[in-house]
Each structure stands twice: as structure tokens, then as C-alpha cells.
Chains A and B, each alone.
Chain A
Amino acid sequence: MTQTTLKSIPQAPSAPPQSAAAQAVWPRMGIRRAVLAGLLCALLAVFLLSLAVGSVTIPLEEIITVLLGGEASRASWSAIVLNFRLPRALTAMLAGSALGVSGLMMQTFFRNPLAGPYVLGIRSGARLGAALVILSVGTVGGTMLAGIGLTGDLSIAFAAMIGAGAVMGLVLAVARRVSSSMTLLVLGVMVGFLTNSFVGLLLFFAIPDQIQAYINWTFGSFNGVTWNQLRIMAPAVIVGLLLATLLTKSLNALLLGEGYARTLGVNVLRVRVGVVLATAVLAGVVTAFAGPIGFIGIAVPHLCRSALGTSDHRVLVPGTMIVGALAALLAAIIAEVPGSNLVLPLNAITALIGAPMVIAVILRRREVAFST
């Protein structure tokens, strides 16, 4: 074989052991453990903070007591932490991670810095499902859903999941056939227009109370998710995050474009299906339970890239999970307006605080705008 005549790479460095100075030339790679650990600590701190603040402020040691299974000095505090703030915090963290990671996948996959978790039309599907339930309460459809025992928030979540699932099925079916991934982007936009027009029709015939209820749903909220719903949401999000973790290596290859990914041995079709599946599960489940929460999915990957200084997904996937959870928790805390009984719409908060941050980051570091 000709192979044997090839001058092969030395198994061990043929040069004498390099001095420390010579080795310093080579940049270090791999996951930035220190930064990720720091972010995790920040997440833990904000998590505890989110349990402490709200309409009433609960001292930190009381919260730790409750979390460790003890009883707070006031019984109402235990109830507030366990029944309200803890599920809210967990929901926020799951949703933030899910949106951050799915946004990252979409930005890399479509090589587009403006892509986010919803570009495949997942939110549009969920929105149509939710709108059908909310806007048809008291009509035939609503009665039918009530008839099979699905009422209130759970039926909205259920309908939103079906809507998201339907769109996912459509995108998956197309993803297996088309040669260019960009077709999926166009498909997602078109699905968005289609469902929007349906929702528009529903809104046109709806009564003001229903419209208000629908608008409230579109604001997004982590408050409505109960422990029972978390039992569905948490495993689904974790499955989606695991799938994203499995795709890490392929996402790195896709940084160079699909052509290079192919020459590196990546099965682009399989990766495409995996990416669509993971994104749809993550974005779909979050939207179903917490409403169409915007902005986090687009902003978090940018913040991570900028903060971690790399496009390497072995760093970015865990990074966006943590930063996404952090961002969602902070948004949830601010939306509650600590010390008051006011609750602001979550979606207003995420963009209000997040957009200036992202603009600042992009202006400070022009590369980020192109760093997909």
C-alpha cells in the first residue's frame, strides 16, 4: 500500500521536549472550567435570591432551612417557598436553559445571528393551539376540551404542545427531503404567517375577555407552572438538553458550513433532523407551559459567545444552559417587582433589559454580529 510510504505523523513529538516558553505558543482549548464554575456559582446565588424576594422578602437562612426540609419560622413562608417560588424558579431555569440552547443551535445551524428558538415556526404552532383553546372557551371546541377533562392552564399547555408538535412534524418531514437547510428557515417564516392569520381570525371573532386572556398568555409567565406540570416539563426539557449535548461535536463542524461538515464525515441530514427535533422539543415545551418567551433564546448565545470568547460548542452548550437559566431567573425576579404586589409581563422585561445589554456587547465587539 502507498500508505506505508507516507511520511506519517510522529506518534510522539519527535522534537525534544519543548520548553515551557515554546509550549506557551499554543493556545489552550477545551472547556473553560473556571468560567463555567463561576457562572454556576452566580446561578446558585440568583436562584436563592429568587426564592427570597417577591411580594414578601424571606430571609436567606429561612429559605435554606425550608429547602433542607425544615420548617420556616412562619408557616406561610414555607408555603410561599415550596408551592410558589420554588416551582417558579425551577420553571424559569428550565425554560432559560432550553431557550438558550435551542437559540444557539438555530444560530449555528442557519449560520444566522438573528435566528432563535422560534425560527422553525414552533412558537407559531404553539400560539395557534393556545389561541384555539383560549379564544374558543364557551364555544364548541372549548366544550369538547372541557369534556375530556382538560380545562384551564393545562388545556392551554396541551393545545400549545399539539400545535408545536404539528409544526415540528411538518418541519421534520421537509428536513429529510430538502438539500438546503435554508428552506427550513423559509418554511418556518411561512408557517408563522399562516398561523398568525388564523389567530387573527380567531381574535376578530372573540369577545374582549378572551382577547385579554390570550394577550396575557402571549406575555409569558413562569408563575402558572405547578409541580404537576413540572413533572412533564422537566423531563422533556432534560431530554432536549441531552440531545443538544449529543449534537455538540456536529455543531462545531457546522461552524465551517455544511460543505465542510460533509467532508469531515458529518451526516448532515441526520444532524439536521436531530437539531430540528431538539429545538422543537425545547422551544415547544417551554412555550406550552410558560408562553412564548422571547428574546432569551436570541440574546443568550450572543452573550455567551462574547463572554466566553469562543464559538466552540463544547463551551457554548453548557454556557448557554447556565446563562440562559440565569437570564430567565433574573427576568422572573424583576417581573415580580420585589417588595410590591405588581407583576409585570415577562416578555416586556426580557427585552427591556436584555436588548440594551446585547446592543452594548455587539457595539463593544463588532465580531459578535457575525459570529454564528
Chain B
Amino acid sequence: MSVLQTLDLAIGYRAPRQQPTVVADRLNLALDAGELVALIGPNGVGKSTLLRTLAGLQAPLAGQALLNGDDLHRLSARQLAQRLSMVLTGRVEAGLLSAYELVALGRHPYTDWTGRLTAHDEAVVRWAIETVGAVPLAGRSFGQLSDGERQKILIARALAQEPELMLLDEPTAYLDLPRRVEMLGLLRELAHTTGRAILLSIHDLDLALRSADRIWLLAGDGMMHVGAPEDLVLSGAFADVFRSEGVQFDAHTGSFALSTGCGGVVSLSGEGLALVWTRRALERAGFEVVSNGTAALAKVTARDGVWQVTQNSQTRTFTSVYDVVQALRGQAVP
């Protein structure tokens, strides 16, 4: 059985004296134990609404969300908090709490009315901190941690709830690229080694494609495409959903690019890394790159840190990609 299963779930907002606003409906989704699922989609499409609904913070307009078979909107708040935890988007200001104390807040659904931690609670807190690799941070004040360190601690806090399902709303939003890669790696590891199901929304598509076991791709029309990242690439769903956003998805390289105009055809040959990155630079500059073009505007050879550009039977030599692009640009635009 899946950890999370939705049955004809409809999400959206209900306002008094108004028709409910449906963001997406007839959602039949499943999330298995040990699986990392990335929820992606254009801005404003309802990713947060879906996460909030699955977290029990918002009632569904119709249908059910089952957490290991139990309708999670019917569980008591305390029961739900023992089975599902969430890392919300946005920065957290927690005053004068140490990282350890903050993680210990995750034991809230388990402690008695005084909030006293038992030996078992403390063991779980320590396990959570160890699992995210934040032991050196434990004694430090949360307010003094960097964004990446804070995020680790917040994930440890969510883990300390011992959830069956963990939801994260844009956990990489404030992080620089190396921290994002690290965070996704950590979550992947968490899902696989602790057997918990993890669902996260993320804007970094490239990263989502590389790290998620499955993608939930929410399109602007409320359609949900589900599959392994590669399935969505092959089916064209990726390209379709983001085309309207002015972003081109290149199914060959698996990367996104800004749509740019065509600056002409350039024939490129060469070897090694130089070839790969020269191709990227030329594409970014708006050229169509072919390997053996006879009708090309110019012919570029990339080899051993030396670039030769042949144009109008004239051959020039450059020592950087930047110079090559500049030269072609100057010539390409009449």
C-alpha cells in the first residue's frame, strides 16, 4: 500500500458566499515508502495549495487523501502530527533557541502537557540530528546558522516527528546552488535509508529531474502529469508545460534554455569537454549548431583550448569561448 494516496482529490479555496475556486481536481496520486517525489510546475499553479491540503492544513474541496489508509483530514491534529511532518517555505525566526532545542520541538506531538522530553524523545532528537549530518550545529544558536544549516535543522525537526510522510515546500528556495544539490542529496538519502516518503515542491527543475524518483508535474490547467523524470521528458509533458512559460526544454540535453532567436547556423566540430561547452555557448548566443553543415555561416573547431573559426574562407584563431562568440556575433548580425 502506498504511504499517501489521493482519491479524486479536488483542491482549492472556499470563500464565504462564493463559488469555491478549484485549483485542481480528480487527483489520483500515490506516494510510496522510501520514495522522493518532486512536485513541480509553473508559479501560481497551486503547488502550495496541494501541499497544504496534503498536510491537513486545508480541507479538500472533494475527495480524500489517505495516509497509510486513513483519511488524513479525519485524524486528530495530534495523531496527524505524529504521522506527517512539514517544512514550510520561508525563513524561520525562532528567537533564542539552540538548533537542538528547535529540533526537539518536533517531539511536540509526543510529549506530555509540560513538553518534557523523555530519554526516548532525546534519543530521537539526536538520531534526527545525526541523520541530517548536523551534529556540529546542535549546540549553536539557530539564529546564527547560515541558510543551508538552518534548512538542515528544520529537516531534522520534521524528521524528529517520526513521520510516515514528510512534506517540504520549496526547501531549496534560499540556498545557493551547492547547498541545493547537497539538500536534495540529503533528502534522497533520507527517503531511501529511512524508508520515509518525501514530497517536496521545487522550482529548480534541473535538480528535480536529477534527484527525484518520481515527478508530479502540475500544469497550468490543473492537469497532473506523473512519472519518472525521464518518462515525462519522453512523453513531451515537460516541454509542453513549460513552453507557455517562455522556457524551452531541450529533450536531448535535459536542460532548460531561454527561447532565443536564431542567429544562423554554425557548424561545430572538435573533441572533449571543449566541444560540449562551446556548443552550449553557441546555443545560448542564439545560433543553431550542427556538426557537418556545408551551408553554415561559419565553421568552428574546438580543440585543446584553441578555437578556429573559418568564415568566408578566412580562418581566425581564438583562445576562449567568449572571444569565439563575440567574433561570431559581430559577424552574424548584418
A residues with CB within 8 A of B: 1-3, 5-13, 25-27, 29-30, 111, 246, 248-249, 252-253, 255-257, 259-260, 262-267, 305, 309-312, 314, 367-368, 370-372
B170 at interface, CB cutoff 8 A: no
B301 at interface, CB cutoff 8 A: no
The CA-CA distance from A246 to B112 in the complex, in Å, is 11
With A9-B123, A25-B139, A249-B113 known as contacts, the answer to whether A263 contacts B55 (CB < 8 A) is yes
Contact between B96 and A371, CB atoms less than 8 A apart: yes
17 cross-chain CB contacts under 8 A: A6-B33, A7-B194, A7-B195, A9-B127, A9-B162, A12-B123, A13-B123, A249-B113, A249-B115, A263-B81, A263-B85, A264-B161, A265-B77, A265-B109, A266-B108, A310-B96, A311-B97
With A259-B88, A264-B106 known as contacts, the answer to whether A9 contacts B101 (CB < 8 A) is no
Task: Convert B104-128 into 0s and 1s, putting 1 for each residue whose CB lies closer than 8 angstroms to a CB of A.
Answer: 1110110101111100101110110
Residue on B with the closest CB to A263? B86
B174 to chain A, nearest CB (A): 16
Residues of B with C-beta under 8 A to A371: 95-96, 143
Residue on B with the closest CB to A308? B96
Residues of A with C-beta under 8 A to B92: 256-257, 260
With A111-B93, A305-B96 known as contacts, the answer to whether A256 contacts B77 (CB < 8 A) is no
Contact between A2 and B108, CB atoms less than 8 A apart: no
Contact between A265 and B81, CB atoms less than 8 A apart: yes
The CA-CA distance from A27 to B126 in the complex, in Å, is 10
B333 at interface, CB cutoff 8 A: no
Size class of B's contact patch? 35 or more
The CA-CA distance from A262 to B135 in the complex, in Å, is 27
Residues of A with C-beta under 8 A to B114: 248-249, 314
Partner of B97, one of A5, A12, A13, A312: A312
Partner of A265, one of B78, B98, B124: B78
- Chain A CB within 10 A, most for which of B96, B117, B143: B96
Partner of A311, one of B78, B82, B96, B123: B96
B94 at interface, CB cutoff 8 A: yes
Residues of B with C-beta under 8 A to A311: 94-97
Contact between A256 and B105, CB atoms less than 8 A apart: yes
B57 at interface, CB cutoff 8 A: yes
Residues of B with C-beta under 8 A to A5: 33, 195
Contact between A6 and B195, CB atoms less than 8 A apart: yes
The prevalent SS among residues of B at the interface is loop
A114 to chain B, nearest CB (A): 14
Residues of B with C-beta under 8 A to A252: 105, 108, 115
Residues of B with C-beta under 8 A to A10: 123, 127
Residues of A with C-beta under 8 A to B196: 6
B248 at interface, CB cutoff 8 A: no
Contact between A255 and B97, CB atoms less than 8 A apart: yes
The CA-CA distance from A13 to B122 in the complex, in Å, is 10
Task: Return the 6 tightest CB-CB contacts between A and B, nearest first.
Answer: A265-B81, A311-B95, A249-B115, A371-B95, A265-B78, A264-B108
Residue on A with the closest CB to B107? A264
B233 at interface, CB cutoff 8 A: no
The CA-CA distance from A260 to B78 in the complex, in Å, is 13
The CA-CA distance from A170 to B109 in the complex, in Å, is 32
Task: Convert B62-98 into 0s and 1s, putting 1 for each residue whose CB lies closer than 8 angstroms to a CB of A.
Answer: 0000001100000011111110111010001111111
Given contacts A1-B68, A6-B164, A260-B88, 19 further A-B contacts (CB under 8 A): A3-B68, A6-B196, A7-B194, A9-B124, A9-B127, A11-B120, A27-B138, A248-B115, A253-B108, A257-B92, A260-B105, A263-B88, A264-B105, A265-B77, A265-B82, A305-B95, A367-B96, A367-B141, A368-B96
Contact between B117 and A265, CB atoms less than 8 A apart: no
The CA-CA distance from A30 to B104 in the complex, in Å, is 11
The CA-CA distance from A162 to B47 in the complex, in Å, is 49
B54 to chain A, nearest CB (A): 11
Residue on A with the closest CB to B3? A2
Residue on A with the closest CB to B129? A26
B89 to chain A, nearest CB (A): 9
Contact between A2 and B164, CB atoms less than 8 A apart: yes
The CA-CA distance from A29 to B139 in the complex, in Å, is 10
- Chain A CB within 10 A, most for which of B101, B111, B138: B101
Residues of B with C-beta under 8 A to A1: 1, 68-69
A359 to chain B, nearest CB (A): 18
The CA-CA distance from A225 to B5 in the complex, in Å, is 64
Residues of A with C-beta under 8 A to B126: 26
Residues of B with C-beta under 8 A to A264: 81, 105-106, 108-109, 161
B152 to chain A, nearest CB (A): 15
B100 at interface, CB cutoff 8 A: yes
The CA-CA distance from A30 to B82 in the complex, in Å, is 22
With A255-B95, A265-B80 known as contacts, the answer to whether A2 contacts B88 (CB < 8 A) is no
Residues of B with C-beta under 8 A to A111: 93
A110 to chain B, nearest CB (A): 13
Residues of A with C-beta under 8 A to B135: 25
B146 to chain A, nearest CB (A): 16
B19 at interface, CB cutoff 8 A: no
Within 8 A of A (CB), among B189-231: 193-196
B135 to chain A, nearest CB (A): 6
A264 to chain B, nearest CB (A): 4
Residues of A with C-beta under 8 A to B124: 9
Residues of A with C-beta under 8 A to B109: 264-265
The CA-CA distance from A8 to B113 in the complex, in Å, is 25
Contact between A29 and B95, CB atoms less than 8 A apart: no
Contact between A255 and B194, CB atoms less than 8 A apart: no
Contact between A3 and B164, CB atoms less than 8 A apart: yes
With A26-B126, A249-B114, A265-B109 known as contacts, the answer to whether A310 contacts B101 (CB < 8 A) is yes
The CA-CA distance from A259 to B98 in the complex, in Å, is 20
